Structure 1
């Protein structure tokens, strides 16, 4: 079944600036878009459109439809020429498409790892496909597997705690500056994932006045509705800086919304009344030097994470664990759809490594350094012996082995062509 899956899309990494803002389609446009796919002969499809991605998943026998035809429809939906999207789009098939779908659903492909919204967005897209009769077994089974991956990542790792931890850190900064937040106002500029996460936490903490400004009115309106706030015309956000208490920036189009000079003018207009900038833009929306302006306080995601208890190391450990879960589920899914088949060498290798890991962990007396050293020794013992035996047979085989290892592990031995 993984062979009967294609995924075509664009996301926050493949596009930037104004183009990224065009990836979001309103719900009625998503319904119409799916109907247009049906007009191409597609019977099973899912369309995911958020502020950071637009992706089409086609399943079953429908995968005979060319990638270019799907990309052409995406270009038409967002109002961009297909030639402009070609170098930015990704077209994945089979296991690659399934791996990407799992990663997206588990918030491992998000701009903010572990963000809580994308799972709900995928489920909403699933329901839309079902309502239009465009979700058969070829699409439903991969989606159910993706939901299982997301559930395991959220329950078995601490990755989902990161957005909440960052939000708690942001709230502490704001309370240190203003005390009670009930009488304060928040201005959200842009529509990045983390910006909305933080804004919703400020709403839950009692901040009643939330304004949303985004270049696309439909996206600003949808975000404001979710936050129980009000949306502004894009031309109004600069004037709103004078009265806001917290400015949440989630634009990330590569240009500073506020630089040092603008910050100086703004703080004079505010009579140096404090202003907290929470910059979640990637790249940054507020010039770092604004922090040197009297009364202005600028925190980006790294600053918030440094203040948070979890810290970067815990996030990286959780992400590693989450990717391991994804790999396990990917292999499990492949075995389900190809029952009775022998394990691939990769599956057998991963199982062997997992068995060695469990053996090492069974000795509860070892600390982290001793356990990892023992695991490395056990992992490398047999391969090292076999490689030495094979390398001794002939210089040519030794050279082939070296090239193979360099490619397999992406390592640079420092040898040039003339060294071999």
Structure 2
């Protein structure tokens, strides 16, 4: 690679600006083909996120899982345990691929996330128990347990952190809910310290969803139908995330955080999720290039990653200095009749429902495969 190409590499520029690039995808095929290792080596990827929809696609579209499913069937494993084992196997292997990154970044990056059963989103104790079980099952220090930021799960986030479990808080849409997540993080780390855990070894990110906010608000703006409403299309998702970063900066200045930082704790970084563009009228890199600031994570599907690598123009910072404009967007949305609180609650409910539906669909297909000596899943499609 020449000096010129290094200097003009958008992914390197994004990394240099302080953004950690994570891949929003995982599959057995990606692991066995070496695709993930290649992205880590050549595309500045330093972490991986998964979710129920990703695993549904991975398992049902490939025959790579067939031998393990046959083994689980012989052992008489039920479908719930089979799903835990199948997904944990992939995540454990991905943790091993990312372990050198974890070691060289002092545990900041090199992380891989696995989500608790989304059907538990309204059950605090069941979420804690599921998180504990996944933490033990995967058995890697660079694991993140994903817990949704539903109201009943906020105490579970603090409880898991207090036990030394690293947590990726997912499905955050609301700024108010994000403040609750930040407080749960601070409370959990303080409890962990009091319990004798080394807080420098406990990690956390807060996954703030972006493009889905635009999808829902743009739909409402279209229904309103005024010129003022049309002028706000595509502005909400980025504005919401930029204000979230201001809340993150406020947390970093709080006495509670400063006391934890003195103990060696790492901050709970904002993670931009849902970064693929849903509306083809928008640039395909917008949820990356418009959300650049130090100390954030951007998790992308491979298509978005490749788009950024191909034609992304990376600014030094596209968040700080934009707070006033972002606040004005929310004020203008309210003025034209968009109910922010209803939007973010709708999005949270939809996301939990969608992930639950994915998990139920996968459960039915794996249950059938456990009773079929040749599971009828799709043929392997190797990653490039």
Confirm or deny a common fold (TM above 0.5): no
| Structure number, greater radius of gyration | 1
The two structures have a TM-score, normalised by structure 1, of 0.26
The two structures have a TM-score, normalised by structure 2, of 0.28
Tell me: higher relative CO, structure 1 or 2? Use CA pairs within 8 A at least 6 residues apart. 2
